[in-house]
């Protein structure tokens, strides 16, 4: 089937199988939680199912946009929840060496750093890592193609600055 | 000075540190979860809708099991109306079985999220009654094409016609092996909380070039017990106004109720799918409709209200 073809021949199941893995991996890239990423990927396709206006030749871009927004929203919700739980003492830092080691692991680092960035910066970084071209990034995030290079570089610089500040240049 | 490529490589090296397995995630798992979620939203699971669609198509293409004697003949190139013909049939079922088509392609109904999606998938826009007819908004599904094929065997037709008092020589040699095919759908299903309104563009009949449908109808009617004079009159009518034809035995006349709408005609068949159940089939300007009460019962008056609200 051609790229999502036209709306009048939209094959939802084929689109699902073509994009599901990438959608899930984009979400995973941001939240670093495979189980939750799978749940949210299904959620994204559920939204596509309900929005017939998104079903058509641009459904791929729509999915990328929805995936990365869903992921960043999830990340921020988690961060807020964790702050709230710390505030109320539900999850106070224990000083446990095992927990400290876990906190140092890559998944937590990425999640933590992305959560501090502007939403659009996190979205750009996650989608770019999944191999989207500048044109695809522009379409997915509804940005000007001519601005993508600059915006992506700024986002990546912000990521590095935050990462190095927290974990060093390792 | 650092290039953008170097910066990007640095970022990607950090992100790649937590790379999932190449085959992760499994799309089959994802699809199963999504399918479950879609099914939960719909009042009926997809297989139920498919079953309902098949049942309604079966009402058109072949009557269900308990009424094996009641059968149907076919039709014309464009089958824009539906007609039930009661015949005085007392045979042993051989003729009825002989006239049964082979439904070789059954409709696969799938839920769609909106009326726009239903229109796009079916290729036409559904006509729906006003909000005052049903108290609820419908959910939608679209069933693919149902197709039935009927391959003629001249020796068998000649035998049956002879048994019915006809002249076997009237059955043309050219009929042997001829294939008639009816295609119904796609069909849009609007599910009003257990009452399904189905609609399709007129059904299509494919027949061999020069195939004499009028003769075919007449022979069929005689085989099913109609006298020659009446069979000739009925077949002539049908050749002028093609119809999807349902033939039922006369002793079941109390189950069949014909009705007229503002723009067409139809029939309600009682108790086809259980006590109290009415299946209604009718035609409009360029549509074939069916009302199938899946989980609720409907009255004749309600069928009429729905039918008249559509055109």
3-state DSSP assignment of residue A52: helix
3-state DSSP assignment of residue A90: coil
- Mean pLDDT of all residues belonging to chain B: 74
Distances (CA, A) of A100 to A30, A170, B58, B172, B175: 21, 17, 67, 91, 85
List, in order, residues 6 or more apart from A54 with CB less than 8 Å away.
Answer: A47, A48, A62
B37–A contact, CB cutoff 8 A: yes
In this structure, of A10-24, B109-123, B147-161, the range with the lowest mean pLDDT score is B147-161
Contacts of B42 in chain A (CB under 8 A): none
For residue B14, give how far its alpha carbon lies from the nearest alpha carbon of chain A (Å): 8
A20: nearest CB among B10, B30, B38: B30
A57 pLDDT above the threshold of 90: no
Instruction: Pick the residue from chain A with its C-alpha nearest to B39.
Output: A46
Distances (CA, A) of B262 to B202, B237, B309: 18, 21, 9
Do residue A49 and residue B38 have CB atoms under 8 angstroms apart? yes
Distance CA A62, CA A133 (A): 15
Structure-block tokens of residue B246: 């349902």
Residue pair A140/A128 in contact (Cβ under 8 Å)? The answer is no
B1–A contact, CB cutoff 8 A: no
B32 pLDDT above the threshold of 70: yes
CB atoms closer than 10 angstroms to residue B164: 21
Do residue B12 and residue A129 have CB atoms under 8 angstroms apart? yes
Q: What is the pLDDT of residues B14-27, one digit of tens each?
A: 887 666 777 889 99
Distances (CA, A) of A34 to A31, A148, B92, B160, B242: 8, 28, 65, 68, 60
pLDDT at residue number B35: 78
- A36 or B267, which is more confident: A36
- B106 or B157, which is more confident: B157
**Half-sphere exposure of residue B214: CA atoms within 13 angstroms, side-chain side:** 9
Contacts of A8 in chain B (CB under 8 A): 120-121, 123
pTM: predicted TM-score of the whole model, two decimal places = 0.49
Grade residue A155 by pLDDT with cuts at 50, 70 and 90. Answer: very high
Q: What is the pLDDT of residues B195-229, one digit of tens each?
A: 888 888 877 777 788 888 789 878 887 887 788 99
B81 pLDDT above the threshold of 90: no
* Distance from the Cα of residue A76 to its chain's centroid: 11
**Complex ipTM:** 0.72
B40–A contact, CB cutoff 8 A: no
Q: What is the pLDDT of residues A89-112, one digit of tens each?
A: 333 344 455 554 554 566 778 888
Contacts of A34 in chain B (CB under 8 A): 20, 24-25
- Mean pLDDT of all residues belonging to chain A: 79
- B151 or B252, which is more confident: B151
Q: What are phi and psi of B132, to 5 degrees?
A: -80, -10
For Cα atoms A72, A76, A81, give the angle at the middle one, nearest 5 degrees: 145
3-state DSSP assignment of residue B126: coil
């Amino acid at each position: 089937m051609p790229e999502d073809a036209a709306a009048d021949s939209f094959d939802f199941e084929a689109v699902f199988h073509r994009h599901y893995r990438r959608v899930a991996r984009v979400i995973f890239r941001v939240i670093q939680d495979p189980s939750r990423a799978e749940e949210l990927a299904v959620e994204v396709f559920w939204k596509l199912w309900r929005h017939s206006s998104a079903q058509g030749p641009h459904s791929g871009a729509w999915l990328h946009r929805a995936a990365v927004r869903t992921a960043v929203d999830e990340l921020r919700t988690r961060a807020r929840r964790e702050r709230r739980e710390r505030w109320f003492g539900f999850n106070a830092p224990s000083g446990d060496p095992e927990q400290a080691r876990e906190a140092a692991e890559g998944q937590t680092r990425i999640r933590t750093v992305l959560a501090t960035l502007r939403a659009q910066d996190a979205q750009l970084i996650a989608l770019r890592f999944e191999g989207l071209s500048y044109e695809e990034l522009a379409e997915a995030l509804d940005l000007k193609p001519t601005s993508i290079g600059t915006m992506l570089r700024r986002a990546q610089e912000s990521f590095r600055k935050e990462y190095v500040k927290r974990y060093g240049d390792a | 000075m650092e290039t953008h490529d170097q910066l990007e490589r640095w970022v990607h090296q950090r992100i790649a540190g937590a790379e999932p397995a190449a085959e992760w995630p499994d799309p089959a798992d994802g699809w199963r979860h999504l399918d479950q979620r879609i099914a939960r939203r719909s009042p009926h699971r997809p297989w139920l809708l498919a079953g309902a669609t098949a049942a309604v198509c079966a009402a058109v293409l072949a009557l269900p099991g308990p009424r094996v004697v009641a059968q149907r003949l076919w039709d014309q190139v464009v089958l824009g109306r539906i007609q039930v013909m009661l015949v005085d049939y007392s045979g042993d079922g051989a003729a009825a079985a002989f006239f049964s088509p082979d439904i070789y392609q059954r409709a696969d109904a799938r839920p769609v999220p909106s009326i726009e999606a239903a229109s796009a998938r079916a290729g036409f826009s559904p006509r729906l009654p006003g909000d005052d007819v049903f108290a609820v908004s419908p959910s939608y599904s679209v069933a693919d094409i149902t197709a039935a094929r009927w391959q003629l065997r001249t020796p068998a037709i000649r035998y049956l016609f002879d048994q019915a008092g006809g002249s076997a020589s009237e059955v043309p040699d050219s009929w042997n092996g001829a294939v008639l095919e009816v295609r119904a759908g796609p069909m849009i299903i609007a599910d009003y909380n257990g009452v399904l309104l189905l609609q399709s563009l007129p059904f299509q009949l494919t027949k061999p070039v020069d195939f004499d449908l009028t003769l075919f109808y007449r022979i069929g009617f005689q085989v099913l017990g109609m006298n020659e004079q009446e069979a000739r009159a009925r077949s002539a009518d049908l050749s002028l106004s093609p119809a999807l034809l349902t033939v039922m035995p006369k002793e079941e006349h109390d189950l069949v109720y014909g009705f007229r709408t503002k723009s067409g005609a139809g029939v309600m068949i009682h108790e086809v799918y259980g006590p109290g159940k009415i299946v209604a089939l009718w035609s409009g300007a360029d549509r074939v409709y069916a009302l199938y009460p899946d989980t609720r019962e409907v009255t004749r008056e309600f069928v009429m209200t729905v039918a008249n609200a559509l055109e």
